[in-house]
């Protein structure tokens, strides 16, 4: 894993920032689903070593949150 790879750093910055946004939104709305998804996105941006895999996991988390919130969770 090359931590100075530009693609990895950019993906980590983007997905970590979106994860923080989800955490803030979940806390303010008192909704556990976006809060947990935000924490998972932040964890993925720290622990996954591939920019592509990180992007796929985080995009799947965003889609999961969207679908579950539309269903009423």
Q: Rounded CA gap, 62 and 72, in Å? A: 16
Question: 22-62: per-residue pLDDT in tens?
Answer: 999 999 999 999 999 999 999 999 999 899 999 999 999 99
Confidence (pLDDT) at 1: 62
Residue given tokens 């530009």 in the structure block: 6
Q: What percent of the chain has pLDDT over 90?
A: 85
Q: What pTM value is reported for the model?
A: 0.87
């Amino acid at each position: 894993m090359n931590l100075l790879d530009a693609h990895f750093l950019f993906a980590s910055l983007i997905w970590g920032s979106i994860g923080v946004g989800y955490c803030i939104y979940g806390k303010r709305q008192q909704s556990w689903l976006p809060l947990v998804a935000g924490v998972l996105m932040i964890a993925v941006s720290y622990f996954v070593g591939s920019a592509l895999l990180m992007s796929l996991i985080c995009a799947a988390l965003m889609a999961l949150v969207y679908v579950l919130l539309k269903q009423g969770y």
